[in-house]
Chains A and B, each alone.
Chain A
Amino acid sequence: DVVLTQTPPTLLATIGQSVSISCRSSQSLLHSNGNTYLNWLLQRTGQSPQPLIYLVSKLESGVPNRFSGSGSGTDFTLKISGVEAEDLGVYYCMQFTHYPTWTFGGGTKLELK
């Protein structure tokens, strides 16, 4: 089974600071069709998860461009260039390259310093 390991588990940031979250997979997430089905989600307190990024680096509609995703194979990164208050919450990476199984990382909680 695929395991996604996110680091750090907690991230303290000030408003305007740039931060990065790492997601490492136990298996390559490159699908035989050439796509890499690695997504990032944000779950604010008391809300359901909302999609931020799909296919490693593509922003979902309405997501600010201070969010960016990168990586390939087994190593992926989410970067926020200039944290804003509305960005606080728990970030999850998830994969469905190995469909139909969905796998989630353990989460990274972004808090204000």
Chain B
Amino acid sequence: GAVVSQHPSRVICKSGTSVKIECRSLDFQATTMFWYRQFPKQSLMLMATSNEGSKATYEQGVEKDKFLINHASLTLSTLTVTSAHPEDSSFYICSATNSVEQFFGPGTRLTVL
């Protein structure tokens, strides 16, 4: 199947700093990528839909000014958590679709101290 990578896999940062997470589709072009968040013992919840060349669509309750999404090319989307706080600590997973199936990245574990 298609491969989606995420970088970094794990990040620990101080409160107030910004963290950028990259999501890449390695062997296919993805006009649409999705960013999900998973808190401990909870399921994945969609944060936003990232469309190449246009603004992301955010789910209700997700602050677009805090979670900046850029989808600059057909193989790369980035999520920047600005001014991170401990409550932003979570597992962030991206997915990319080839119009048939969604393929998920391995996730990024963010810990904000």
Check if A and B associate: no
B-contacting residues of A (Cβ < 8 Å)? Answer: none
Residues on B lying within 8 angstroms of A by beta carbon are none
